[in-house]
Amino acid sequence: MRALKCVVGLAMAGTIAACGGGGGGGSDGDSNAPTTAAGLWKGLTSNGRQVSVLTFQDGSAWALYSQPGGGFGGVAASVSGAVQGSLNGAATDFWISHHLISPGTLSATVTPRQSISGTLSTPGQSFTFDAAYDPAFEQSPNMAAMAGVFTGNFTVRPGGAGSTLAVSSTGAINGTTIDGCAYTGTGTPRTDGNALDVSITFGGGTCALGTSTVTGVAYYDSAARTLLLATLNSARDNGFLFVGDKD
């Protein structure tokens, strides 16, 4: 699928991004122009993977990275540590392709609105990355443009499969996985960047996460018509990731 050709893993620092070219689906202008380490950054890792990093003014960050040969590799999330000119915090790395969830650190040096250079370090893997700033971050989320049904793949430990996910113009989320797990939630536009805060609750039954609630972020690339969503549970030992193309 188109989304999986460009999306990379997510080093859960608290953010999510896409690797398509510059499309954010928001309004023009720079009302969210960052003056701190906040931003959307796209580049490469030292081991040849694509990486997209989202950092926010509240200190959270999410890093998505691909597998070496392409496709969805993983995500690393850090809920604190981004400050003026730098990022340095504890992180949870969901190395999807290897079915590993590991604690670690995510650190980086940021030149606001220009570039980010950093390191993800965990017991399972370590790599450095360099990425350039994407001004699509400065747009405001356009819920009307995002609204629709997305078909793609979800990942939750211990595995994943296909899912459809619908988003309304008011941010209501409804989804069903291929094995019959139903989930609902909400997406709320952030005020500090082109992304949504997301909360999803599962309906039990076949759902691997039972009836629990997970929270995280989502990003819609309007040019690629791709939705990226990454969430963690409260214990930060499992989560729900979704990558899908708009029908």
- Reported as a single tens digit per residue, the pLDDT across 63-89 is 888 887 777 778 888 866 555 677 788
Please write the tens of the pLDDT for every residue from 166-180.
999 999 999 999 999
Q: Distance between CA 203 and CA 125 in Å, rounded?
A: 34
Q: Which residues, in sequence order, are CB contacts of 69 under 8 Å at separation 6+?
A: none
- pLDDT of 11 above 70: no
Question: Going along 179-222, which residue ranges are E strands?
Answer: 182-189, 196-202, 213-221
pTM above 0.75, yes or no: yes
- pLDDT of 158 above 60: yes
What is the arithmetic mean of pLDDT over 11-33? 41
- Is the distance from CB of 17 to CB of 41 less than 8 angstroms? yes
* Poorest-pLDDT segment among 3-7, 152-156, 241-245: 3-7
How many CB atoms are closer than 10 A to CB 54?
31
- pLDDT of 3 above 60: no
pLDDT at residue 84 in the model: 62
Q: Distance between CA 98 and CA 112 in Å, rounded?
A: 33
- pLDDT of 220 above 80: yes
Q: Distance between CA 52 and CA 56 in Å, rounded?
A: 14
Residue among 208, 209, 228 at smallest CA distance from 218: 228
